[in-house]
A and B are shown apart, each in its own frame.
Chain A
């Protein structure tokens, strides 16, 4: 199946199968008819608001049907949505507001603060619109072509997040690839666990809706409490699993997480961080009949651009799994530091070029110019990821050219953590480094800090104060687990903090 327009396809499903379940949240289920009617109402309401044409809107929400309805309503009205998770710290909302200048903020969940600039659509008002608003909106204005569909904010090196603009055409290329290459089927029941503020969630969201399937939500509160998690999981009757490798590692600790107890679960899709041979082998042993796919891709190229099905032969052959081959409409190659293409087997930076590569960062021409360029007429992206391509055309990931790390699937710029630490009165100098385990995975962030003079009598209370202050500004996963205090930090010949020597110190043994 190939589709030509995402919203049209979802509406078509709703017209053909109005009573089918599109979303399940605990015991609560929602039909495709509801999805269409409520998103039409949100679209009609937004078009009546006289918002700046094509300006993005923030959707402040959580893992619920209402959040998805609001996304679709915005796109139908002609506005890209910026998903912000209600678990985010306040400062992140302020930063996103400053960068994006959204025309409106739609509260699926009440905002924790006042924001200057955008029109605020209150939670209560939005609810009323969904329940009884007008259904008529102008489809000519809906997002299509190169117009932005969503904008997802990701860690930036200067302490300010960057908004990756994904157009309808970008997303369409991604969704059509998902429908073609992963053996997914009509009416599939897919896990919707990743936060909608992360693009991993797009891997379940749009392919599932295009297939007339059911998104089965798993809320953070359930995911966090293992007893509840394992009581809930078997009841979800999933067919398709989408998550980071970190999340499946938790689930694999339960010996009852196997094919016998989950007879309908037959597709596993991973993205967001390295899938290790150990994890994949264990999964295969517990689900011998399931299809397991490893994928790779930066947010800037729309969720994922390479894939490979993990087989017993593959697991036997490699110590570190390949990330696979680029999707049919996309080319990938490897370059050296000067941008010269390298040959088979040589290690260098991975370049991605194709129709799912973003036009760049919102309102940030400088960073856009640094990371994006054009090859012929195609958009191309410097991934900053190191790797090589073997003689079979399989691509392998081997680390980063810079100081970006992935921890439990979260993308973190170490410089971003440093910059936010430096904003604090207590901190004079800071350098954050990752601590790796023997599987090349980051397990902890360690911040080396030169503190300013302060009244704290011991490290415990100082650490507590710094972590708490940092927590006001950054996402919880960006807070270093360990703070190490020093009188000064080692410097390179150029007089910069020598992060590499600190990394060596943390990772010795």
Chain B
């Protein structure tokens, strides 16, 4: 489980170029502008490649993926 968390945070840190992801995993990724639409696409592709998680883009609701912690929970629930 911890491994998933680490991988997700690593992916997010890499995409946003921000250390804030790990320091403050409750930060809102969209409101702060850390993640835009294209960043979101990258995120979904990375989750698929690294964790074999297939999150359908058509089911992607921003509110459910708004913070690093929420992304981790979402990924864990899909594994």
- A460 CB contact (under 8 Å) in B23, B41, B60: B23
CB–CB A225/B61 < 8 A: yes
Distance from A373 Cβ to chain B, minimum over Cβ atoms (Å): 36
B57 and A463 within 8 A (CB)? no
* B78 in the interface (beta carbon within 8 A): no
B residues lining the A interface (CB < 8 Å) = 16-20, 23-24, 30, 33, 36-42, 44, 56-62
Residue contact A253 to B20, C-beta cutoff 8 Å = no
Write the chain B residue with the least CB distance to A463: B18
In the complex, are the beta carbons of A226 and B17 less than 8 A apart? no
Q: Are A463 and B20 in contact (CB under 8 A)?
A: yes
Residues of chain A with a CB closer than 8 A to B56's CB: 254
A228 to B62, CA, bound (A): 10
Q: Is the CB of B57 within 8 A of A226?
A: yes
In Å, the complex CA distance between A231 and B37 comes to 16
| CB < 8 Å neighbour of A459 from B19, B36, B44 | B19
Q: 7 pairs across A/B with beta carbons < 8 Å?
A: A226-B62, A227-B58, A250-B57, A463-B20, A481-B17, A481-B39, A482-B18
Interface of chain A residues 347 through 371 with chain B (CB within 8 A): none
- Determine whether the beta carbon of A224 is less than 8 Å from that of B33: no
Kindly state the interface size class of chain A when it binds its partner: 20 to 34
A103: Cβ under 8 A from any B Cβ: no
Question: How far does the alpha carbon of A464 sit from the alpha carbon of B24 in the complex, in Å?
Answer: 12
* A224 touching B62 in the complex, CB below 8 Å, given contacts A249-B41, A254-B56, A467-B33: yes
A253 x B41 contact (CB < 8 A): yes
**Contact between A226 and B58, CB atoms less than 8 A apart:** yes
Contact B16 A481 (CB under 8 A): yes
Q: Does A166 sit at the interface, judged by CB under 8 A?
A: no
Query: Complex Cα distance A483/B56, Å?
Result: 31
Is A479 in contact with B33, judged by CB distance below 8 angstroms?
yes
A291 and B49 CA atoms in complex are apart in Å by 32
In the complex, are the beta carbons of A476 and B33 less than 8 A apart? yes
What B residues does A444 contact at CB under 8 A? 17
A227 near B60 with CB under 8 A, answer: yes
Q: Are B41 and A227 in contact (CB under 8 A)?
A: no
Q: How far is the CB of B62 from chain A (nearest CB, A)?
A: 5
CB of A446 closer than 8 Å to a CB of B:
yes
The contact string, 1 if C-beta is below 8 Å from chain B, for chain A 196-230, is 00000000000000000000000000011111101
Instruction: Spell out A's residues near B (CB within 8 Å).
Output: 223-228, 230-231, 246, 249-250, 253-254, 256, 408, 443-444, 446, 459-460, 463-464, 467, 471, 476-477, 479-483
Given that A459-B19, A463-B18, A479-B33 are contacting pairs, would A246 and B38 also be in contact in the complex, using a CB cutoff of 8 Å?
A: yes
Collect the chain B residues with CB atoms within 8 Å of residue A408's CB.
Answer: 38
Determine whether the beta carbon of B33 is less than 8 Å from that of A471. Answer: yes
Question: Whole-angstrom distance between the alpha carbons of A444 and B42 in the complex?
Answer: 11
Q: Which 10 A-B pairs have the closest CB atoms?
A: A482-B17, A230-B58, A226-B60, A253-B57, A227-B61, A481-B17, A254-B58, A225-B62, A254-B57, A408-B38
Tell whether, in the assembled complex, residue B17 and residue A446 are in contact, meaning their CB atoms are under 8 Å apart.
Answer: yes
Docked complex Cα distance between A446 and B20 (Å): 16
Distance of A459 Cα from B60 Cα, bound (Å):
32
A271 CB, min distance to chain B CBs, angstroms: 17
Measured CB to CB, the closest approach of chain B to A432, in angstroms, equals 13
Q: Would B59 and A227 count as touching, CB distance under 8 A?
A: yes
Assembly CA distance A467 to B33 (angstroms): 10
Residue of A nearest to B48 (CB): A253
Provide the bound-state CA to CA distance between A460 and B39, in Å. Answer: 20
CB <8 Å contact, A464 and B20: yes
- B residues less than 8 Å from A446 (CB atoms): 17
Q: What's the minimum C-beta distance from B54 to chain A, rounded to whole angstroms?
A: 11
Q: CB-CB < 8 A to B40: which residues of A?
A: 226
Q: Report B46 CB to chain A, min CB distance, Å.
A: 12
Q: Which residues of A contact B44 (CB under 8 A)?
A: 253
Hey, which chain A residues are within 8 Å of B41, CB to CB? 249-250, 253
How far is A463 from B39 in the complex, measured between Cα atoms in Å? 19
How distant is A341 from chain B, measured CB to nearest CB, in Å?
A: 38
**Most chain A C-beta atoms within 10 Å of own C-beta, residue among B18, B19, B24:** B18
Partner of B38, one of A230, A250, A471: A250
